[in-house]
Structure 1
Amino acid sequence: MPNEMKGQYSQCGGAIRELSTESLKGWRNSIGEAAITIVEQILDGKNEEERKTFIEGQFKSKYWMRPYYYPENNVERSEEVFQSRIVSETFATHFKVIKSIPDDSRSEALPKAALVLSILAIDRAFELSQNGIHSGDFSSYKPAKYAGPIIHQLFAKMRNGEDRISTQMWSQIIAAAKAHVKPLTSSIN
């Protein structure tokens, strides 16, 4: 926060809250729209029955082992969890949104919330596609309010205190997503 704004929140709070809310809504919706686009690409060329079968196959297991978390839906490749095309490309949207923020102004925390949101968006995109609806306001998706904390547990610590997702795995997940982000180009020649 700029120094000249310190102590001024009571006068500016409403405007700051409104801008923050709009920014968050835009961030969530951009991730949701990315998920819809990628789901449609994956389902392109499949007939109605194939689409239905494929989507149902993604939800046969609980949140802990959804096939779409893994490349080629292969849950045997546990070392590549959250590195599938659909997860990586959806999660990449977060990095596209924040790439204009200077590195020293970004949080050093792992982007767990962005990955949780990506998973929720993919679930929603599959649901919308299955029901023949091709867009939606991801900011007002009510089931996400209940599923979000469940999905967040995928990234929590285990009972023994160890992280469910190691630092090395996080590096791989982030690298897979960032591979889909084009670098900023300079307009200075």
Structure 2
Amino acid sequence: MPNEMKGQYSQFGGAIREMAIEILKDWRNSIGDAAITILDQILDGKNEDERKTFIEAQFKSTYQDRPFYYPDNNAKRSKEVFQSRIVSETFATHFEIIKNIPDDSHSEALPKAALVLSILAIDRAFRLSHNGIPPGDFSSYQRAKNSGTIIHQLFEKDENGRGRVSAQLWSRIIAAAKAYVKPQYY
């Protein structure tokens, strides 16, 4: 915060809060738009029956084990969970947005919220494509708000205190997503 603003939050707080809300809304909508775009690319060339069959297959499981989490929808590739094209490309949107932020300003925490949002955005993209509903504002999607807690649990520690997603798996998930981030040119 600039020195001239210190101690004056009450005067500037509303404007800062509104700006933060707008930035978060843009971030969420960008991830939602990416999921829709990538799904459209994946479905391109499929006829109506193939599209319907593919989309319906994505919902024949729980949030804990959706087929789209895995490359080629193959859950037997469990070491590659959350590294499918649609997850990686959608998650890459987060890294694309933050790539201009200096490294020393990045949070040390794993980007769980961004991955959860990516998964929820993909889920919504499948539902929109299946039902023919226009995308609208991802930030106001109530189903995502309600399901967020369920998805977050995928990344919490289990009853033994171990993370369900190991540090090595996180590294692979992040690397898979960053492979889709456009290089920064100076």
String of CA shifts for 1:129-174, please: whole Å, max 9, x gaps.
1112353210000111110000000000000000000011000000
Q: What residue is the counterpart of 2:27 in the other structure?
A: 27
Contact 1:36 1:134 in 2 (8 A): no
Stretches of 4+ aligned residues off by more than 4 angstroms = none
Q: What residue is the counterpart of 1:168 in the other structure?
A: 168
Superposition map of 1:96-175 within 5 A? 96-175=96-175
What is the identity percentage for the equivalent residue pairs of Structure 1 and Structure 2? 76
Query: Is residue 58 of structure 2 the alignment partner of residue 55 of structure 1?
Result: no
String of CA shifts for 1:71-121, please: whole Å, max 9, x gaps.
000000000000000000000000000001000011110000000000000
The amino acid of 1:37's aligned partner reads: T
Distance 1:3 1:110 in 2: 30
Unaligned residue ranges in structure 2 (runs of 5+): none
- Give the aligned CA root-mean-square deviation in angstroms: 0.9
Q: What residue is the counterpart of 2:8 in the other structure?
A: 8
TM-score (norm: length of structure 2): 0.97
String of CA shifts for 1:20-58, please: whole Å, max 9, x gaps.
010000000000000000011111111111111111101
Q: What residue is the counterpart of 2:184 in the other structure?
A: 184
The amino acid of 1:114's aligned partner reads: A
Distance 1:176 1:129 in 2: 25
TM-score (norm: length of structure 1): 0.96
